[in-house]
Amino acid sequence: MQNNVITEDASGYHWEPNPGYGGNYVYCSKKISPNECFFGLGDKPASLNLRGKRFLNWGTDTYGFAKEQDPLYRTIPFYYGMHNGTAYGIFFDNSFQSFFDFGKESPDVMSFWAEGGEMNYYFIAGPQLIEVAQNYAYLTGTAEMPPKWALGYQQSKWSYYPEDKVWELAHTFRDKAIPCDVIHLDIDYMDGFRCFTWDKTRFPDPARMINELRKLGFKIITILDPGIKVDNKYWVFNEALEKGYFCKRQDGDYMRGKVWPGDCFFPDFTNPEVRKWWGGLYKELIEQNVAGFWNDMNEPAVFETGTFPDDVRHDYDGQQVSHRKAHNVYGMQMARATHEGVKNLRKELRPFVLTRSGYSGVQRYGAIWTGDNVASWEHLWVANMQCQRMSISGVSFVGTDIGGFIGEPDGELFVRFIQMAIFHPFFRGHSSSDQGDKEPWAFGAAYEALIRRAIEMRYEFLPYIYTTFWQYVMKGTPMIKPLVFLSQNDPQTWLREEEFGFGDQLLICPIKEQASTGRIVYLPKGNWYNFYTDKLYKGEHEVYTDAPLDRFPLYVKEGAVIPLQPVMQYTDEFPVRQITLHVYYSVNRNVSYFYEDDGDNYTYTQGNFSVRRYTVFGNRKQMRIVQELFGTFKSNYEDFRIIIHGLPFKPSEFIIDGTPVKLPKRLRDKTLTITVNKSFSRIQIM
Ligand code: GLC
């Protein structure tokens, strides 16, 4: 790094005693370099580059949050700095309320501080942003492979009940041939909002319903909140009370607060014994075959007061601390208790947990959705920023309530939202019930067709999405990458924020305006094919891209190999008999991957997986595709259908592993389709 200063203290570490609580307020300040950009910090609904702004971290239930509102639900005290082509990261591992000022108070000073705890921060060297992201993931923990079904489309609403309504929903999906893997049951499935119970008039026999829904290819996810109803006829309440598992106030009273069930007490998830107990409570839901678990309101949210008062006591793994220290990790510890409990109860299968709150490292326990957003065009932009930012903050398994939780999207807004969400790893439509229907068919036939097409596209891209997830699991590589992560030496990318990369080979740019039929897209370095037209464009340029309502700007990197599968109504509807490899001609050598495993169990950790590595390159007269295979997973298909895009010549012949095949005249086309055995090692096209 040739003696370039990466980051330098301004006044560095300093502190002030905290007379009210004891301990110190801890501060650190650093000089801002000219042209320095800042990224990261989790779910902030603001522009990607954080320079000139100040933020607060204190997980907060923020129903109908606005652009720029701060703080929201999560705390990820980790940021990137980047200047002169060099990036670094700082992770301030302090769970107290913390602040980050990126030159708002004083334009050339960046500072971060917390209301207590230690000045415990990690410096992560780059120089590439991607390397910083990967090392931050090593530090805070990488995710596990999710069950594949959790990458399918998920349908939710507050709430689907009674059972008949769920059946009507399930049948409508199948009748209309709109793919869907999961139906969520929000709080009204419970008996008076008591966790781990069912309302038996609405759902008389949950196990029967769930198992019958499985025959149609649907899995059920149920919601659970941390608030346990104060009710001495309720076993969960009694058990926790008896065992001393509820949080208490400083002077010994229980922490009492109103949430959906009315008066509640709250388990102390920072206590390992409580986590174990909570994890065990899932036993019955697991026996009933509930597939996944949604942990909500875990900031923790309390109706009158927002959250717990500061004096509430927590075990904090034996440290005995106040809520000031435990608040920001409470939700993550709930998700952890759920993840560990479910994994223990159903050892052979991968758990799926969805959580609203979280702290750095929450990616180890599940997926995140961004909370109670609004059906507006502005929120489409907000969702784009939040998902990109969460992804570079260690949490790639992220998504938003497609179409907006609050309010009524029109068909056009919903279509644009779901087109973007195809490339958000967590893919769920969810909304509040009192505001009309927002299922894919709620907007009339023309929109229904467009929404179906978007969901179908998600299922076609699943092999690529799953591979991208594997890369995230193995290396901590963000699945969604802001443009600057693709080309950090290009100053054009420093402030652009709407285009994003997905995996190694795709670039997406959402349409964020009403009545738009296209937009300007900036392509980073390299050459890029328009996915719909196969036209090739030079990177480091702006390109006006047509996007009538059935399209959105989607580009493929030259030399890419993109594995696609047929449309399915749910992820394991039928064994895949053929994968189509879309191969994009390139003069420059490009490498792509295709990962496969069993999809829902842990045999991949014992070697039952396969990775195919493709290298593509060519010249004006020929092109080569090299395949290298690692691993032993047995897929259900024998052949690949290979579609070559962008050949600059009319092919007359190809050679597969030494065997030449002459092409009949009528097939000599620049988009060439050939079928080959999946174990090929090299194909040469001339
Ligand atoms: C919260 C959640 C929302 C859920 C509702 C009812 O507002 O964020 O997703 O539908 O509670 O459980």
Summarised one tens digit per residue, pLDDT across range 220-259 is 999 999 999 999 999 999 999 999 999 999 999 999 999 9
Q: Which atom of ligand 1 is nearest to the CA of 225?
A: 12
Same domain, 85 and 226: no
Q: What is the domain-level CATH number for residue 516?
A: 2.60.40.1180
Q: Whose CA is nearest to atom 3 of ligand 1?
A: 372
Q: 597, 603 in Cβ contact below 8 A? A: yes
- Inter-residue contact 331 to 300 (CB < 8 Å): yes
Q: Mean pLDDT, to the nearest integer, of 27-38? A: 97
Instruction: Select from 62, 158, 354 the residue to mutate for testing ligand 1; criterion: most ligand atoms less than 8 Å from CB.
Output: 158
Q: Residue 135 domain-assigned? A: no
CA 357 – CA 276 distance, rounded (Å): 20
* pLDDT at residue 85 in the model: 87
Write down the pLDDT at residue 2.
65
Range of weakest confidence among 2-6, 342-346, 451-455? 2-6
Residue 261 within any structural domain of the chain: yes
DSSP 87-99: EEEEEE---S-EE
Residue 158 CA, ligand 1 centroid: distance in Å? 7
Same domain, 467 and 536: no
What does the block give as tokens for 395?
């949490």
**Within a domain: 338:** yes
- The CATH number of the domain holding residue 413 is 3.20.20.80
Closest ligand 1 atom to residue 432 Cα is 10
Q: Are both 393 and 519 inside the same structural domain?
A: no
Output the pTM of the full model: 0.98
Identify the pLDDT of residue 186: 98
**460 and 484 share a domain?**
no
Within a domain: residue 372?
yes
Residue among 61, 299, 439, 499 flagged as catalytic: 299
Residues 594, 452 share a domain: no
pLDDT in tens, 270-313: 999 999 999 999 999 999 999 999 999 999 999 999 999 999 99
466 and 488 in one domain? no
Relative to beta strand 262-265, strand 257-259 is antiparallel
Residue 69 lies in a domain: yes
Atom number in ligand 1 closest to CA 158: 10
pLDDT over threshold 70, residue 617: yes
Q: Angle, to 10 degrees, between the axis of helix 272-280 and the axis of helix 323-345?
A: 40
Confidence of residue 45 (pLDDT cuts 50, 70, 90): very high
Mean pLDDT calculated for residue range 527-538? 98
Q: Which residue has its alpha carbon closest to ligand 1 atom 10? A: 158
Ligand 1 pocket, residues with Cβ under 6 angstroms: 63, 158, 186-187, 223, 296, 356, 371-372, 430
pLDDT at 668: 80
Q: Nearest to residue 527, comparing CAs of 616, 611, 439?
A: 616
How many domains are contained in the chain?
Answer: 4
pLDDT of residue 401: 98
Residue to mutate, 264, 372, 431, 433, ligand 1, most ligand atoms under 8 Å from C-beta: 372
- CATH of residue 88's domain is 2.60.40.1760
With a CB cutoff of 8 Å and minimum separation 6, the contacts of 434 are none
The confidence score (pLDDT) of residue 3 equals: 75
**Choosing from 61, 296, 499, 504, which is the catalytic residue?**
296
Mean pLDDT of 446-460: 98
Above 90 in pLDDT, residue 12?
yes
Same structural domain, 209 and 353: yes
Pocket probe mutation, ligand 1, options 296, 370, 433, max atoms within 8 Å of Cβ: 296
Q: Is the pLDDT of residue 606 over 60?
A: yes
Q: How far is the CA of 276 from the centre of ligand 1 (A)?
A: 25
- Quick: pLDDT tens for 498-528: 999 999 999 999 999 999 999 999 999 999 9
pLDDT at 371 > cutoff 80: yes
Q: How confident is the model over 121-153, as pLDDT tens digits? A: 999 999 999 999 999 999 999 999 999 999 999
Tell me what the mean pLDDT of segment 539-557 comes to: 98
Query: What 3-state DSSP class applies to 508?
Result: strand
597 CA distance to ligand 1 middle (Å): 34
314 and 328 co-located in one domain: yes
Using the structure block, give the residue that is written with the tokens 């009524």: 408
> Among 459, 475, 491, where does a domain finish?
475
**Those residues with Cβ within 8 angstroms of residue 437's Cβ, 6 or more apart along the chain or in another chain:** none
Please state, rounded to an integer, the average pLDDT across all residues of the chain.
Answer: 97
Q: Which of 427, 453, 475 corresponds to the end of one domain?
A: 475
Other beta carbons within 10 angstroms of residue 665's beta carbon come to: 8
What is the dihedral sign for C-alpha 640, 641, 643, 644?
A: positive
Instruction: Using the mean position of ligand 1's atoms as its centre, give its distance from the Cα of residue 144 in Å.
Output: 26
- Residue 639 catalytic? no
Average pLDDT for 443-451: 98
Instruction: Tally Cβ neighbours within 10 Å of residue 64.
Output: 15
Tally helices (H) and strands (E) across the chain: 13, 42
For the chain, give the percent of residues with pLDDT over 90: 97
Domain range for residue 612? 575-685
Residues 388 and 482: beta-carbon distance below 8 Å: yes
Same domain membership, residue 98 and residue 61: yes
Q: What distance in angstroms lies between residue 579's CA and the mean position of ligand 1's atoms?
A: 38
| pLDDT of res. 334 | 98
Please state the atom number of ligand 1 nearest to the C-alpha of residue 372: 8
Of the candidates 483, 488, 485, the residue with the CA atom closest to the CA atom of residue 498: 483
Res. 435 pLDDT band, cuts 50 70 90: low
pLDDT at 59 over 60: yes
Exposure string for 83-105, b = 16+ CB within 10 A, e = fewer: beebbbbbbbbbbbbbbbbbbbe
Closest by CA to 240, choosing from 258, 250, 255, is 255
* Protein residue with least CA distance to atom 5, ligand 1: 158
In this structure, the answer to whether residues 521 and 605 fall within a common structural domain is no
Q: Is the pLDDT of residue 1 over 60?
A: no
Whether 253 and 310 have beta carbons less than 8 Å apart is answered as: no
Lowest pLDDT segment from 170-184, 318-332, 530-544, 662-676 = 662-676
* CA neighbor of 667 nearest in space, from 647, 639, 637: 647
Domain assignment present for residue 549? The answer is no
Closest atom, ligand 1, to C-alpha of 371: 8
Catalytic residue chosen out of the listed positions 70, 115, 372, 497: 372
- Whole-number Å distance, alpha carbon 601 to ligand 1 midpoint, is 30
- DSSP per position, 649-661: S---EEEETTEEE
The rounded Å distance from CA 300 to ligand 1 centre is 13
Nearest CA to ligand 1 atom 7: 372
Q: Nearest to residue 158, comparing CAs of 371, 346, 334, 342?
A: 371
pLDDT in tens, 381-391: 999 999 999 99
Asked, for residue 491, whether it belongs to a domain, the answer is yes
Say whether 558 is catalytic.
no
Active site residue 310: no
Residue of 297, 354, 369, 430 with the most ligand 1 atoms within 8 Å of its CB, for mutation? 297
For atom 4 of ligand 1, the residue with the nearest CA is: 158
- Give the Å distance between the CA of 436 and the centre of ligand 1: 16
Q: Does residue 493 sit in the same domain as residue 402? A: no
pLDDT, residue 433, reads 75
Question: Taking 90 as the threshold, does the pLDDT of residue 54 lie above it?
Answer: yes
84 pLDDT band, cuts 50/70/90, is confident
Please check whether residues 526 and 611 belong to one and the same domain: no
Which of 436, 455, 475 delimits the end of a domain? 475
Q: Do the domain assignments include residue 618?
A: yes
Residue 111 has pLDDT above 80, yes or no: yes
